[in-house]
């Protein structure tokens, strides 16, 4: 009952202050009645909690800030220039490497590099005249005799006198040439080549001048 009485007192008090167009009615409450009504009330739980003070952030130190002076447009242009320079250097290096490659470098249809070591395998894909000139320029006369003989084989294959195959031997070609008018000349050129190339017979410039005409005549 005391609680109800106190509640009614508190409820009707603000109505007088907010009512418009009405006359406030005062209901006097004695101190004894108030103490009697509020004797059993506990206000300890109604104390508001104190908020913890927020930490103040330290002010930014005064002085030059490099980020303030950062110009993104300027650095973007610098990066573009650097990328362009790297691209130019890469292209220049590629051209340099191409120029450094041997001039006699040739690539076959299967992607292999044609060299003096594999001429027989790519007989119809290379310029044998060039290999002959290079061998003579450095004084490699056995290699020159070998290239001459390969030229003979290539011409005989292109004319249909023999059926060329990298698996065939010189004996196979001699059998195919047996009925050919140039059989004797081919047999002589084959013997010269085998003596010089497989027999390791020494051959100098003078000796090469003696055997070269028989290859030229056959060609």
| pLDDT tens digits, 29-54 | 677 776 777 666 666 666 566 666 66
Cβ neighbours around 75 below 10 Å, total: 10
- Tokens encoding 118: 């594999």
pLDDT tens digits, 200-209: 899 999 999 9
Residue 99 clears pLDDT 90, i.e. is over it? no
Residue 68 clears pLDDT 80, i.e. is over it? no
Look at residues 141, 121, 120 and name the one whose alpha carbon lies nearest to residue 132.
Answer: 141
Only one residue has tokens 């290999």, namely: 131
Cβ neighbours around 114 below 10 Å, total: 19
Q: What is the pTM of this model?
A: 0.52
pLDDT tens digits, 83-96: 888 888 888 776 65
What pLDDT, on a 0 to 100 scale, did the predictor assign at position 2?
A: 58
What pLDDT, on a 0 to 100 scale, did the predictor assign at position 33?
A: 74
What pLDDT, on a 0 to 100 scale, did the predictor assign at position 178?
A: 95
Cβ neighbours around 5 below 10 Å, total: 15
pLDDT tens digits, 137-171: 999 999 999 999 999 999 999 999 999 998 999 99
What pLDDT, on a 0 to 100 scale, did the predictor assign at position 15?
A: 45
User: Is residue 150 within 8 Å of residue 143, measured between CB atoms?
Assistant: no
Look at residues 119, 151, 123, 132 and name the one whose alpha carbon lies nearest to residue 208.
Answer: 132
**What average pLDDT score do residues 98-112 get?**
59
Only one residue has tokens 């056995």, namely: 142
Distance CA 110, CA 82 (A): 39
Distance CA 187, CA 194 (A): 11
**What average pLDDT score do residues 118-143 get?**
93
Residue 131 clears pLDDT 90, i.e. is over it? yes
Residue 193 clears pLDDT 80, i.e. is over it? yes
Residue 104 clears pLDDT 60, i.e. is over it? no
Q: Which helix (H) or strand (E) holds 152?
A: helix 141-158
Determine the angle formed by the axes of helices 141-158 and 183-197, rounding to 10 degrees: 150
User: Is residue 153 within 8 Å of residue 128, measured between CB atoms?
Assistant: no
User: Is residue 103 within 8 Å of residue 137, measured between CB atoms?
Assistant: no
Distance CA 61, CA 57 (A): 12
Distance CA 183, CA 161 (A): 10
What pLDDT, on a 0 to 100 scale, did the predictor assign at position 210?
A: 95
- Spacing of C-alpha 26 from chain mean position: 93
Residue 188 clears pLDDT 90, i.e. is over it? yes
């Amino acid at each position: 009952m005391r609680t109800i009485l106190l509640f009614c007192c508190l409820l009707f008090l603000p109505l007088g202050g907010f009512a418009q167009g009405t006359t406030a009615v005062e209901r006097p409450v004695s101190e004894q009645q108030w103490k009697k009504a509020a004797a059993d009330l506990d206000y300890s739980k109604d104390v508001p909690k104190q908020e913890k003070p927020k930490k103040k952030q330290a002010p930014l130190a005064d002085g030059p800030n490099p980020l303030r002076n950062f110009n993104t447009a300027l650095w973007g242009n610098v990066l573009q220039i650097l990328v362009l320079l790297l691209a130019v250097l890469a292209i220049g290096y590629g051209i340099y490497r191409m120029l450094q490659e041997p001039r006699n470098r040739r690539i076959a249809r299967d992607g292999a590099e044609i060299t003096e070591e594999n001429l027989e395998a790519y007989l119809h894909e290379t310029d044998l005249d060039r290999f002959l000139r290079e061998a003579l320029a450095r004084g490699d006369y056995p290699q020159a005799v070998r290239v001459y003989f390969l030229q003979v084989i290539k011409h005989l294959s292109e004319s249909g006198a023999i059926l060329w195959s990298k698996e065939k031997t010189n004996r196979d070609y001699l059998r195919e040439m047996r009925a050919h008018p140039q059989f004797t000349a081919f047999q002589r050129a084959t013997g010269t080549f085998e003596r010089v190339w497989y027999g390791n017979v020494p051959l100098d410039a003078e000796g090469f001048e003696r055997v070269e005409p028989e290859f030229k005549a056959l060609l």
